[in-house]
Amino acid sequence: MLPSPSRSAGLVLVFAASVLSLVRPGQAAPMGLGPVDSYPAAIQQTRQAAEAVLSHAGKESCLRGKLTNALLKLSASCSAAGRQGGACELADRAIVVTPWSVPFMETTSRALLDAAETPDSSAP
């Protein structure tokens, strides 16, 4: 019996998150994400994606992709920089949730914007 599409997607995200945790800054990230961004660049991209979600600036599927990509990059940059907590923890928790409803994306976006404004106490 084949797993359900949402379960398969969840497993892919869990796998992606675990692989991304092995990447260092400047290295190419797996799954076509390109090089690992610096933490400030990843936070900026995450802010932009969160603001796009909250302003409904695009189709739902595009916003979901934009937010997913930003969170995967944020998770990779956090792992590479040894950061924990705040926006890093939020990204790690959100990327394994499936499926993403609009209310989930909006709640996550608000929380990310709040977390991105709070200084990260685990910064190296």
Residue 21 lies in a domain: no
Residue 27 lies in a domain: no
User: In 1-124, where does DSSP find H-type helix?
Assistant: 5-20, 39-54, 60-81, 86-94, 102-117
Using CB atoms within 10 Å of the CB of residue 25, give its burial: 0 to 12 exposed, 13 to 18 middle, 19+ buried. middle
> Which pLDDT band holds residue 11 (cuts at 50, 70, 90)?
very low
What is the CB neighbour count within 10 angstroms for residue 19?
13
What is the CB neighbour count within 10 angstroms for residue 1?
3
**How far apart, in Å, are the Cα atoms of 25 and each of 13, 28, 89?**
20, 8, 18
**What's the pLDDT tens digit per position in 21-43?**
444 444 444 455 567 889 999 99
Q: Is the pLDDT of residue 121 over 70?
A: no
> Which pLDDT score is estimated for 26?
45
Residue 6 lies in a domain: no
For the chain, how many structural domains are there in total?
A: 1
For the entire predicted model, the pTM comes to 0.69
Residue 88 lies in a domain: yes
Q: Is the pLDDT of residue 2 over 80?
A: no
**What's the pLDDT tens digit per position in 43-52?**
999 999 999 9
Residue 80 lies in a domain: yes
**CA–centroid distance for 23 within its chain:** 15
Mean pLDDT of 57-68: 95
Per the structure, the complete domain to which residue 54 belongs is given by: 37-115
Would you call 35 helix, strand, or coil by DSSP? Answer: strand
